[in-house]
Every structure is written in C-alpha cells, then in structure tokens.
C-alpha cells in the first residue's frame, strides 16, 4: 500500500494537509453539512450534518478501496497529550493487528499567538473501510466530541484535532471539518462528478458558482 508522502507527491503536488483544503486545490467540492433552512441551534441540525457526512463517505469509499486514515493533533510541545499520544486512535480501530500498522510522526509547527511552540502529531493508518469505525469518527467530528482528548487539548489555546481520509484507489481526499462542511478533492474531476450530480443541492452556496463552472465549463445549458 502506498504511503501518504509518495501519494501526495505523485497526485496532489504542493498540497498541504491543513484546512481549508477547498481553497488549496482544484478540482474540489465543498458541501454544506447543515441544511441551510435548519438553524445550527436546532437539535436536528447536528444529526443532519452527521447523516450527510456518512452519505458522502460511503459514496467516496468502496469496501475494496485502499485508504489512508489520518489524524492530525496540533498542540504545544509541553502538552499532556505527549504522555500517551496513541490513545487518540485506539477507539476508532476495530482490530489490534490493524492498529499495529499505525505510524506516528511529530512535525514541528509555527508559534501560536502566545508565542508557544506548536507541534503536529500526525497519525497515518493504511487500511480499508471495514477496519475503522468511521461512523464514530464522523459523528464526533459533527458533534465536536472527542471525549478526554478534546478536554486535554482545550487546556492550551489553538490546539486542534483534524481527521482526513484518502482513497488511494480512486485518488480522492475527504475532509469533514466540523458540523458545517466537508471538502472533497480529486486528482481528476471526473472521479467526483457523480457527487456533483447526485448531491448538488448540498453544495456550499458561497462556492456554488465556482463549482458549477468547474463541472459545466463550456456547457452552460447543464446549469439550468
């Protein structure tokens, strides 16, 4: 299975895995996770976001596809997270032998506004869809609830946690960044045209014009 570094270098040259991905790559689609007509304060809004994120994930990742699941935890160099960094991943993996494939990398980061040195813990796992509890990851992403990990991260300003999923087989990157949105990038726009066609109503209104232009360039009749 191809590793993350070589895959990005060969297929997404120059792309850095950090939000907002939609602004950093073309072709890409940004979807709204919360229905525009539903207030974010309504109890149903987070469930709607979760259902949309699951639907898009199941469309992007087939059972037979090879994928890389990535967790980025950004925090200060003296954070308590350093005492047991692997705990962020354990509950999302179904079998211990899969967890043995996990790679942990510590990446130096910039200073935050308080001039504290930041680091990025990057966990990468080569796996298949059946190996991970992706429903749990996406639910916690939408509800912003990662239990003890988030509680510890909140002890320091500008700490964060991000999940990315890469489909090595189809050349697609999936990033549901919270209850508000989901960015999906592709090497070839034809690989994600089916998402544009099937879920066009979910596309971010702010970015709709640019996305419509990308998929219908030279054929304005398709926008009617």
What is the arithmetic mean of pLDDT over 191-202? Answer: 96
pLDDT at position 205:
92
What is the arithmetic mean of pLDDT over 71-84? Answer: 78
pLDDT at position 96:
79
User: How is 35-66 classified by DSSP, letter by letter?
Assistant: -TTS-TTSHHHHHHHHHHHHHHHHHH--TT--
Place of tokens 């930041």: 118
Place of tokens 């990005």: 8
> Which helix (H) or strand (E) is 90 found in, with range?
helix 87-90
Q: What is the pLDDT of residues 171-183, one digit of tens each?
A: 999 999 876 789 9
Q: What is the pLDDT of residues 111-167, one digit of tens each?
A: 666 667 888 889 999 999 999 999 988 988 887 765 555 545 555 556 788 999 999
Q: Say how far apart CA 158 and CA 156 lie, in whole Å.
A: 7
Q: 220 or 69, which is more confident?
A: 69
Sign of the dihedral defined by the CA atoms of residues 188, 191, 192, 193, in that order: positive
Q: Buried (b) or exposed (e) across 88-127, using 16+ Cβ within 10 A?
A: bbeebbeeeebbeebeeeeeebeebeeeeebbbbbbbbbb
Q: What is the pLDDT of residues 14-54, one digit of tens each?
A: 999 999 999 999 999 999 988 666 555 555 778 888 899 99
Residue 204 has pLDDT above 90, yes or no: yes
Domains for the chain: give ranges and CATH numbers: 4-10+40-173 (3.30.70)
Q: Say how far apart CA 108 and CA 202 lie, in whole Å.
A: 36
pLDDT at position 13:
95
pLDDT tier, 211 (very low <50, low <70, confident <90, very high otherwise): very high
């Amino acid at each position: 299975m191809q590793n993350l570094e070589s895959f990005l270098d060969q297929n997404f040259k120059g792309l850095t895995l950090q939000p907002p991905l939609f602004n950093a790559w073309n072709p890409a689609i940004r979807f709204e996770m919360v229905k525009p007509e539903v207030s974010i304060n309504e109890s149903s809004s987070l469930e709607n976001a979760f259902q949309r994120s699951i639907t898009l994930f199941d469309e992007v990742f087939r059972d037979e596809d090879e994928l890389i699941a990535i967790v980025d935890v950004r925090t200060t160099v003296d954070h308590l997270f350093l005492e047991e960094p692997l705990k962020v991943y354990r509950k999302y993996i179904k079998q211990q032998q899969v967890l043995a494939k996990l790679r942990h990398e510590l990446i130096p980061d910039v200073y935050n506004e308080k001039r504290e040195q930041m680091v990025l813990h990057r966990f990468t796992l080569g796996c298949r869809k059946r190996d991970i509890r992706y429903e749990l990851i996406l639910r916690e992403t939408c509800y912003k609830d990662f239990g003890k990990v988030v509680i510890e991260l909140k002890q320091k300003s500008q700490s964060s946690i991000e999940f990315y999923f890469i489909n090595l087989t189809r050349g697609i990157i999936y990033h549901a960044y919270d209850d508000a949105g989901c960015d999906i990038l592709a090497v070839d726009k034809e690989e994600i045209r089916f998402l544009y066609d099937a879920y066009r109503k979910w596309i971010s209104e702010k970015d709709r014009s640019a996305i419509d232009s990308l998929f219908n360039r030279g054929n304005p009749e398709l926008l009617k």
